[in-house]
Structure 1
Amino acid sequence: MNKKRTGLLFLVILNCLITLGQNQKQKPNFILIVADDLGYGDLSLTGSTQIKTPNIDKLANGGMFFSQGYVSSAVCSPSRAGFITGINQVEFGHDNNLANNQPGFDPEYLGLPLSVKTIADHLKPLGYVNGLIGKWHLGHTKQFHPLKRGFDEFWGYTGGGHDYFVSETNGKGYRVPLECNYKKPQQITYITDDKGDECVDFIKRHKNEAFFLFASFNAPHTPMQATKEDLELYAHIKDSKRRTYAAMVHRLDVNVGKIMNTLKNQGLDKNTLVIFISDNGGPTKTNGSINAPYNGKKGTLLEGGIHVPYIMHWPGTIPSGTTYSNPVSSLDFAPTFMALAGGNEKAVSFSGVNLLPAITSTTPLAEPHELLKWRFTISAAIRKGEWKLIRLPDRLPLLYHLPSDPSEQNNIALKHLETTKDLLKTLGEWDVTLPHPVFLEGAQWKKIQLGQYDDTYQITQPD
């Protein structure tokens, strides 16, 4: 009898373990692919006449393209602080780009505040293994390190960029040595390819676990460096900077394809939500990018600075070949991932929302966001429905009706005074609730950023 009871107990325990494993297997994987300083108009799917991006196009054609997709800041570090936490970064003082510590500020706070949890922090207790491949840019010192912010594996660098061909043992700036906590980093071949290879390796090693992979590319951020092979593909582009940029975007596209092919070959494609964005708009002059049809650039709250390519891909769950036209934000990633992983996203004060109910429903639902709001150093902006207002320190507000003027060419603030007053009031009421920044970048950037609103930007594709 005891043997029978023991055998029965063993079978019950075994069945529970199998069920637990099946439940764990059913949790979706998440891959967040982030381009760095990519121009909105520099994918073939967004209208580029010069650059071909078949793999990113395929990602959109097999999933959903968000025609009104925004990031929460116009530059790298605060944008990343927003989407990696799901909270508008100015609500915890991460208003500026990371740079050297400024007089009067405590360098211990020069990074993503420790009081705020990342996507990885939220997913880890839900059974996920979390990996970061590439750029961090949320703090250099040990307390801000990604391995202390919920990530189990890290291959990359903590700064804002890296040389594409070289790292040095005692290197500084863009030539710092690569870090890795699970092996000795290999010599760089071309860093975009190396990142793609590391993403493939991560997927293969963790294919039997629920995982979150932050595939953080630095292409096409400066320095402008491309392989000879890719430069030859774009030899017809006369401008050397633009030619190099096109080659760098091409190589990014190749590695997006590498990631997606691996998911399919490993049988994980139907259980993996893949998102592709750029962290902000293209900086135009420094890397040769084009944000057409949008005005502005990285560093401005014009559409060219914050309106980015935004794609979600999940076969069998997200309708393929579809476009979603309501405004969405990169702040929506964290609550979406948490809800899908089985967590309670409503228990966290996210600025973003779980997008899945809105984008998979067969009946129209309310827009995910009634308002979108931005603050970046000298500027602030708000979008409410079809209207967008930008507030600057040296002029009257800029008001645009986006459906009729997507390129923001006609400031109609004085023609629609009631709308201008309403948006200014709403923006101001939010502004005064925000904390002081926990760090600042150099004061010289204020004048540079203001001057960028007076520049002229290319809002059409080249012939």
Structure 2
Amino acid sequence: MKIHSLLFILLFLFSFKNLSAQSKPSPQLSPKKHYNLVLIVADDLGYGDLGFTGSTQIKTPHLDQLATNGVTFTQGYVSSAVCSPSRAGFITGINQVEFGHDNNLAGVEPGFDIAYNGMPLSQKTIADHLNKLGYVNGLIGKWHLGKEPQFHPLKRGFDEFWGYTGGGHDYFESLPNGKGYKEPLESNFKTPDPITYITDDVGNESVDFIERHKDEPFFLFAAFNAPHTPMQALEEDLALYQHIEDKKRRTYAAMVHRLDLNVGKIMTSLEEQGLSENTLVVFFSDNGGPTDSNASLNAPYRGQKGILLEGGIHVPFVMNLPGLLPEGLIYQEQVTSLDVVPTFLALAGDTETSMDMFSGVDLIPHLTGKTPPLADREMTWKFTISRAIREGDWKLVSVPDRMPMLYNLAEDPSEQNDLALKHMDKTTYLLKKLGTWDVNLPHPVFLEGAVWKKRQLGLYDREYQLEQPIEN
């Protein structure tokens, strides 16, 4: 009897222990840390028109703060000197001429097929890759990678789109049946409100995207129109720059000011939502400023949008991620917009995509000291009539109507002294390397109008302002 009683007591205690264990709530696992990804792209911004790149005329405190708190790349490049091919490059991570996206996207030229008038469907975008990792992807603003339905951003990995598919837009107005810069805004998640000022609208919609998706991994592509033509600014912004005598330059300064304010909105939203510490923000311009059309300034670099001198492809470039990237780092080695996709994917935890498929590299290890700096990097460019190659400090540019041009950028960043004849061995070596790369490229899948070729050639002979304006 005693043995039975003892067994009963032991069995009761054992059962009670199990019931107690089952009744306790399971410990909550901390959510897996994820990084949000924000890409902010200006359109036709001059290199020398921000405070952190040397401007004293145009005030850009929010972009300056982004640079001060993050990493500034003094040798940041894009893969093309014009909008559409540059975007095809940084949205895929692959040099766009290697899949036939050589020209700027416009109408369909004779002999070409409208079905191919956009970024080739064979290419995956950063949004396609991030979809597989559970990210929600939003594009706010400009697309310019194809207007036909098959090229639409919602078919290229993006979950949300608010903006326009063309290459530019009026800042104040869109029309229901409008074409070109007056085309209607579109969205798949709301009925777009009438435009107030499109730079503000892109900023506001970007903030709205952040607030709606703050609790999940997201990728936001904030594709601003500013300061691309048409030259249109708000009166209150023009008043800030009334001391600038040149009307076009005054309007341009006001447009850049408004761009800066809206970058500030995005950064404030990330902070208010508690997302600053786990959000990588990247900012650059899609190409150099077209000094002849929007009064931008690429100082100290010669050239402009449309050509492969430094002024066309050397752009303001910043990465910001508090807690991971060094604050205030001035990184002096070459980087490219083609590095954005592999950097984003590595930070998002992608272990399946082969990084060898990309033209760029993951920058994070180089910026945090885990791997050596990217010294003596080779870069190649091709845009319609122009070809260029950079290897270390040496850069060679080739256009149809003259001998190749050779510059040592360490000694001559403004490309004033052509050394091609003085260093024939270097000229021959780089020209052969560039030519071998060029003849292995596929044919362009579409062409822009032939009139642009002559115009681009003329831009190599223009005089460019290489110093900041003197302020009174």
| Band of TM-score, shorter chain | over 0.9
User: 2-side partners of 1:3 and 1:125: how far apart?
Assistant: 46
The corresponding residue for 1:165 is: 172
Structure-1 residue corresponding to 2:315: 308
Q: What's the CA shift for 1:346?
A: 2.8
Match of 1:456 among 446, 449, 463: 463
1:239 match: 246
The within-5 A match list for 1:15-414 is: 19=29, 22-23=31-32, 26-344=33-351, 345-347=353-355, 349-361=357-369, 365-367=372-374, 370-414=377-421
- Two-structure CA RMSD over aligned residues (Å): 1.9
1:108 Cα deviation (Å)?
0.3
1:346 partner letter: S
Unmatched tracts of structure 2, length 5 or more: 1-13
Q: How has the CA–CA distance of structure 1 residues 22 and 410 changed in structure 2, closer, same or farther, with 3 Å as cutoff?
A: same
Contact 1:358 1:368 in 2 (8 A): no
Taking a change above 3 Å as real, the CA distance of residues 326 and 9 of structure 1, as seen in their structure-2 partners, is farther
Cα distance in 2, alignment partners of residues 373 and 359 from structure 1: 23
Give unpaired runs (5+ residues) of structure 1. Answer: none
**Aligned residues between the structures:** 456
Q: String of CA shifts for 1:150-187, please: whole Å, max 9, x gaps.
A: 00000000000000000111111111110011111011
Corresponding letter in the other structure for 1:394:
D
Letter of the structure 2 residue corresponding to residue 252 of structure 1: L
Task: Determine helix, strand or coil for the equivalent of 2:249.
Answer: helix
Please point out which of 420, 430, 434 is paired with 1:423.
430
Letter in 1 for 2:303: G
Are residue 438 (structure 1) and residue 438 (structure 2) matched?
Answer: no
Distance 1:368 1:124, change over 3 A: farther
| Partner amino acid, structure 2, of 1:161 | G
Secondary structure of the residue that 2:52 maps to in structure 1?
helix
State the Cα distance separating 1:49 from its structure 2 match. Answer: 2.3
The answer as to whether partners of 2:342 and 2:355 remain within 8 angstroms in 1 is no
User: Which secondary structure state, in structure 2, belongs to the residue aligned with residue 156 of structure 1?
Assistant: strand
TM-score by length of 2: 0.94
1:450 alignment partner AA: L
8 Å contact kept, 2:137–2:220: yes
The answer to whether the Cα contact below 8 Å between 2:375 and 2:392 also exists between their aligned partners in 1 is no
Task: For residues 41-65 of structure 1, give each alpha carbon's deviation from its aligned partner in whole angstroms, at most 9, with x where no partner exists.
Answer: 0001111121000000000000010
Shift of 1:9: 8.7
Q: Quote how far apart the aligned CAs of 1:462 are.
A: 1.0
Separation of aligned partners in 1, 2:100 and 2:419: 32
| 8 Å Cα contact 1:328/1:369 also seen in 2 | no
Q: Which amino acid letter does the alignment assign opposite residue 22 of structure 1?
A: P
Aligned equivalents of 1:446, 1:2: Cα separation in 2: 85
> Deviation of residue 290 (structure 1)?
0.4
Q: Aligned with 1:286: secondary structure?
A: helix
Q: State the Cα deviation string for residues 33-92 of structure 1 (Å, max 9, x = none).
A: 000000000001111121000000000000010000000000000000000000000000
Instruction: Name the SS for the 1:334 alignment partner.
Output: helix
Give the residue type in structure 2 aligned to 1:94: H
Going from structure 1 to structure 2, the CA distance change for 1:211 and 1:368 (only over 3 Å counts) comes to: farther
Larger Rg: 2
Cα separation, partners in 2 of 1:415 and 1:176, compared to 1, 3 Å: same
Verify the 8 A CA contact 1:169 1:176 in the aligned structure 2: yes
Distance in 2, matches of 1:7 and 1:68, equals 63
Structure 2 SS opposite 1:285: helix
Output the amino acid matched with 1:143: Q
* Percentage of matched positions with identical amino acids: 66
Structure 2 residue matching 1:126: 3-state secondary structure: coil
TM-score w.r.t. the length of structure 1 is 0.95
- Aligned match of 2:7: none
How far is 1:280 from its partner? 0.2
Find the aligned partners of 2:455 and 2:15 in 1 and give their Cα distance. 81
